[in-house]
Structure 1
Amino acid sequence: MTSEHTETEQATQTKEQTPAGMFQAIGVITGDVTFIKDEERNKYIANITIGQYQYNLFPHGSSWSKLASFNGLRKQIESTGISKQKLIVYPKITHYPSREQQHKIAFQLVAFENDNVENSISQELNDLEFKLSGLWQFIPVCKTPCITVMRNFSDERLEYIKQAQLSSKVNFMKAAHIPLMWKDAPVKPFRFNPKLEKEQQGKAMFVSIKARFIPGKDMFGFDSLLGMPQDEPPKYLKAGKKDKAEVLKSKLAFKRQRTSNEQIKGTIKPKVVLKKLDPVETNPAAVIEKPKLKPKS
């Protein structure tokens, strides 16, 4: 077994006993859905308009089974002419390196109302309501505290990441950091303090709540507790820092090489000596992670 696999296992097996529950971020939204054909890539892209605010709508994954709901929704709108749809979605959050730059919210389609989904979560939640379960904490690139939703642990998933390529493995274990406004929370969000030793830091609590998405503000607001905060989270998968740094280093190197190649093509006298990448220049300052979770039945 390689060192990178060992690093992952250590992150998933910190406790033999964990509380019941799971990491999740899933909810219901209603809005006008528009599909547009991207001729260049021969695929459809979609948006959903909630009130006066428009958000990107993506399929959940690229496999045929996960594209079925996305394509089914498009065909239903085409056949009925009814664009206003009630959807079950995952929030898709993109954070940026600067704390001053606003995060971006989109949604991944899980199912739509007429998708013949049994025991649908839409029966439990009203419009704009979400179930959020994760670690309550601040992250370096966001002023608002977040609920961090990790990839739930299973033996099958552990076997997959042991065999996956490094980039695929790190992408598979990316977390979602969901900005949440929660006044008078029963526990404070964890905040890392570089001045304290590791054993003095404390840790993020695992919380399960119902929250409402706030269009326009592009964040979520606390509604109610679904369970008491817990010291220990359910078991989860987490990529090691070295693995994430190595993947980001490779991405930066590839991006620089591509930029250099494009500059060469656009130069009349392409006498350009490619600069050898300095390890210091490719050392990542941060890794921004995204959610990709399965809904709770």
Structure 2
Amino acid sequence: MKVITASDRSIPQTPSVVTIGTFDGVHIGHQKIIKKLTKKASEKNLNSVVLTFFPHPRMVLQQNSDIKLLNTIAERKEILSALGLDYIYVKEFTKDFANLSARDFVKTILVDTLHAKYVIIGYDHQFGKNRSANIDDLRKFGAEFGFEVEEISAQDVKDVAVSSTKIRSSLLSGDIKTANAFLGYDYYINGTVVRGKGFGKKMEFPTANISVDETYKLIPKNGVYVVASSYKNKTIYGMMNIGVNPTFEGDKKTIEAHFFDLDEDLYDRHLKISFLDRLRDERKFESVEALIEQLRQDRINAKQIIANRNAQTPL
């Protein structure tokens, strides 16, 4: 699998099957579409290509948009890369691109760049300047330029739309289980371990303070979570607090992970941390001692969740 961009000279000059979308989350609905894409490409002996966009159109067209995405662009590429595609074409979304007519989009991108012979697209897909063209227009362009259009059913499109919306709302409400079920994998963040105030270490719960560079990345609701990461090729488990540390009168949101059975310096390390479950809301305790007692109980609860989860995982 190769990621290509508009400036890449290694864009394949061979015919392809293409699907188009933002694919934020690359959730189970998206995965269903991509399976259809790779199957068609295999049957026709063509390249399978996902055409996706970054930045998100709302980031460009709505200057005040506060949209939060399920994946950074690097994460999106990573997940797509595991789905058996030949190419991912990341098209930079700009205002000039948004102003392309439907015909120019089809000619310059689908035909001249990606050499599409089949385009798999939703029945309600709109494209071109002001989203003025639809699937019927695409079929007409296909007849003109020599590609076929395969329609994704209304039910499949509904699956995509509903799950995308539900994933965001689930994460923002702390419902990790529902989000993970719709994603088809455990939601995760990537970040660098930075120095914090050291409260956790003083309480027997040293934490790795995670800094996420991409401000558009959706961070789940404040609270305490069961998490997993990989360190030195080994899965490590722990619990994470997202919030402001109200017991210590904090006012700045932080992301802090305490890993069980790990006593190593993690500063400046890059970690990918997955959310497995949610333990509770963040709250202010009457004393540090009361907080410590709650953290001890959180650890017991988290380890039980991990044990149950691992027991259910087939060998």
The TM-score bracket by the shorter chain reads: under 0.3
Answer 1 or 2: higher relative contact order, Cα 8 Å, separation at least 6.
Answer: 1
Higher Cα Rg, which structure = 2
Point out the structure with the larger helix share. Answer: 2
